[in-house]
A = this chain, B = another copy of it.
Amino acid sequence: MNIADLKTTLDPHGIGQEMYRLISELYPICRSITGNGFRETLSIIKTHIPLKVHEVPTGTQVFDWTVPKEWNIRDAYIKNGQGERVVDFRASNLHVVSYSTPVHATLSRAELKGHLFTLPDHPDWTPYRTSYYQENWGFCLSHKLFLELQEDMYEVYIDSSLEEGHLTYGEYYLRGESTDEVLISCHTCHPSLCNDNLSGVALATFLAQHLGAVSRRYSYRFLFIPGTIGSITWLSLNEAQASKIKHGLVVVCVGDSGKSTYKRSRRGNAEIDRVVEYVLKHSGNDYEIGDFFPYGYDERQYCSPGFNLPVGCLMRTPHGRYPEYHTSADNLDFVQPDYLGDSFSKYLAVLNVLENNKRYLNKNPKCEPQLGKRGLYGAIGGRSDAKTSQLAMLWVLNLSDGQHTLLDIADRSGLEFDLIRNVADILVKHALLQECPEPEQSRA
């Protein structure tokens, strides 16, 4: 079985539901860029794919950065004068600013205010805040609740630790025919936020699971990492091997109702860029494609000028373009199985083109070969439209001069990629076509 078969046998609806179940399971865990919440998350993913867990000690120098202290938290609250928990970490881990230092104090409302974060424009929602690289503490709460806080003395308590420890990340490597790699990277460090990025975590998990079961031209590397520091750490520890990555995608925000959006790699015309553009163009759905810009997710690091890897970002609504982004409203209602399943299908379609996007040589390049004597008119079983298949054969023969990939041929002919690939297979079987060898350095 290969990826093309996966594409026809997997039911997007079913996959979407599995993804949604995994998101639901991971949702309550308090994750950050380090700590036990991240480890617990990886151990759940491990029930689906046998990923390898790496632990990188605090203080490790990774390019211009240093692996930070490990953060863990057990409880946190703000109690009013009556001893009631008016803000309670147990209700939502978003209530505590991530990486808050431990605190236990009693403060007036005025003193407390400087440590509180709300969203006046969305008074029912709790914001998500972090303070990774500046030691501080704080609480996030709905603006509605904030307005209800009376003049009072408040007990604030954060039972956290910020200590020497490790940065943890998960890696799953699937060897293919070639050592050339496709990278699938997702940041896994956000707490109870579904679209950003439990949706990406779930998509990567099930993609990895299914790819593990089929034959592969490329090797695949899945990274479950904390945002920014995670990709920097991986690139730093794997600098020499990074050039094996021939194509890559950062998986984020793939569960909301918005249209598919692709952010090109820094190169702008890498094969992954052309493939995703082709898939979205022929998806039948609305979509948007934009150029690389140096902020967003981990593509910032993969596409830094010293690496310049061909890594794009295939998402639905991009970060910051939906109001629920980085708030408590990015919850289990905001992502839906059907959107997740649709995103999964598109990733699969992209990988299907990538895996099959080879270059061929017409072995009979002078004039057309006589298709009729080989019974190649109407040769594709089950196709009602024999004329289209014949046309596809003529296109493949005409453009298989070693300069054009099958995607080039699909693009130029306006015919669908799968037909072009199917026809190429038939022509290979009839010895009219042969695969071009790939450049030396990219063979296994």
Residue on B with the closest CB to A403?
Answer: B305
Give the residues in chain B near A295, CB-CB below 8 Å.
391, 394
Give the residues in chain B near A373, CB-CB below 8 Å.
133
Interface residues of A in 56-74 (CB under 8 A from B): 62-65
- Which of A232, A367, A368: most chain B CB closer than 10 A? A367
Least CB distance, A182 to chain B, in whole angstroms: 21
The stretch of A96-104, A111-119, A162-170, A358-366 that contacts the partner chain: A358-366
Least CB distance, A430 to chain B, in whole angstroms: 11
The stretch of A186-194, A270-278, A296-304, A435-443 that contacts the partner chain: A296-304
Give the residues in chain B near A239, CB-CB below 8 Å.
366
Q: How far is the CA of A412 from the CA of B294 in the complex (A)?
A: 11
Partner of A370, one of B65, B231, B236, B306: B65
Give the residues in chain B near A397, CB-CB below 8 Å.
294, 304-305
Whether A342 is near chain B, meaning CB under 8 Å from some CB there, is no
Which bucket holds chain A's interface residue count? 35 or more
Interface residues of A in 180-238 (CB under 8 A from B): 228, 231-232, 235-236
Given A133-B373, A266-B398, also A300-B365 (CB < 8 A): no
Least CB distance, A151 to chain B, in whole angstroms: 33
Given A365-B306, A398-B303, also A64-B370 (CB < 8 A): yes
Least CB distance, A233 to chain B, in whole angstroms: 9
Give the residues in chain B near A64, CB-CB below 8 Å.
364, 367-370
Partner of A294, one of B133, B266, B303, B398: B398
- Which of A62, A294, A307: most chain B CB closer than 10 A? A294
Give the residues in chain B near A308, CB-CB below 8 Å.
401
Contact A368 B304 (CB under 8 A): yes
Whether A400 is near chain B, meaning CB under 8 Å from some CB there, is yes
Contact A364 B394 (CB under 8 A): no
Whether A293 is near chain B, meaning CB under 8 Å from some CB there, is yes
Q: How far is the CA of A305 from the CA of B432 in the complex (A)?
A: 13
Whether A253 is near chain B, meaning CB under 8 Å from some CB there, is no
Contact A63 B134 (CB under 8 A): no
Contact A400 B366 (CB under 8 A): no
If A228-B368, A232-B368, A236-B366 are given as contacts, then 11 extra A-B residue pairs at C-beta distance below 8 Å, sorted by A number, are A64-B367, A133-B372, A134-B372, A294-B368, A294-B394, A294-B395, A300-B368, A305-B398, A305-B399, A305-B401, A306-B365
